[in-house]
Amino acid sequence: MKAISLPVLLACAALAAGCASNARPVLYPNAHLKQVGDPQAQHDISECTALAESSGAEAHDAGRAARPAAQGAAVGAAVGGVSQAIRGRSIVGGALAGGAIGGAAGGVRGAFKACEVSPIHRNFVQRCLHERGYDVIGWK
């Protein structure tokens, strides 16, 4: 179990560090943005973000971390089992070791994935801002 604790710790640290800064939309300086000014645009971004969250389009989905961990564990278990079978050793032991390694690696990948702004949230905020006259050119 000690072999898993370090990767899990790293995954948690990555999750905390990666989610510490939330990406926000970057606006094209069109006529509407020039007319209302940056303070009003930032207020509108905050309102659209809050509206997205209250509508169920959460910015970050912690559940996105679980899928890569499960996939990594499954692939690792298969590779470990087959590897040991080819060598004439314990398939179960190889599958367990491979599953642990693959699950830990997938967990780290999933931690980074969970920190990305969800596509539904991003689309919601972009549509809200578009309806208010802004042009979103990206996220930063």
Evaluate whether residue 130 is within a structural domain.
yes
Averaged pLDDT, 31-39 = 98
Query: Could you tell me if 55 and 77 lie in one domain?
Result: no
Is residue 54 domain-shared with residue 69, that is, in the same domain? no
- Work out the angle at residue 85's Cα, subtended by the Cα atoms of residues 80 and 87, and round it to the nearest 5 degrees: 100
Same domain, yes or no, for 90 and 126? no
Residues 94 and 80 both lie in one domain = yes
Q: Answer yes or no: do 88 and 100 share one domain.
A: yes
* Rounded Cα–Cα distance for residues 90 and 106 (Å): 24
The enclosing H or E element of 55 equals none
94 or 119: which leads in pLDDT: 119
Q: CA–CA separation, 13 vs 27, rounded Å?
A: 31
* Separation of alpha carbons 112 and 101, rounded Å: 17
In a domain, 96, yes or no: yes
Residue among 66, 77, 59, 58 at smallest CA distance from 110: 66
Question: What is the biggest distance separating any 2 CA atoms in the chain, rounded to whole angstroms?
Answer: 74
User: What is the band of 2 on the pLDDT scale with cuts at 50, 70, 90?
Assistant: very low
Do 69 and 102 sit in the same domain of this protein?
A: yes
**The one-letter amino acid at 64:** R
In a domain, 71, yes or no: yes
CA distances from 22 to 67, 72, 74, 108 (A): 22, 27, 31, 19
Q: Which two tokens stand for residue 67?
A: 């899928």
Asked, for residue 81, whether it belongs to a domain, the answer is yes
Q: Whose CA is closest to 48, among 111, 112, 116, 117?
A: 117
Q: With respect to residue 132, please indicate whether it lies within any of the assigned structural domains.
A: yes
Asked if 69 and 102 touch (Cβ cutoff 8 Å), the reply is no
Q: How many domains does the chain have?
A: 2
Whether 98 is in a domain gets the answer yes
On whether both 54 and 86 belong to a single domain, the answer is no
Q: What is the mean pLDDT of residues 88-97?
A: 76
- Domain identity same for 111 and 128: no
What is the residue range of 96's domain?
63-116
Is residue 35 situated within a structural domain? no
Q: What is the pLDDT of residue 22?
A: 78
Domain shared by 94 and 107, yes or no: yes
- Claim: this prediction has a pTM higher than 0.75: no
Higher pLDDT, 10 or 62: 62
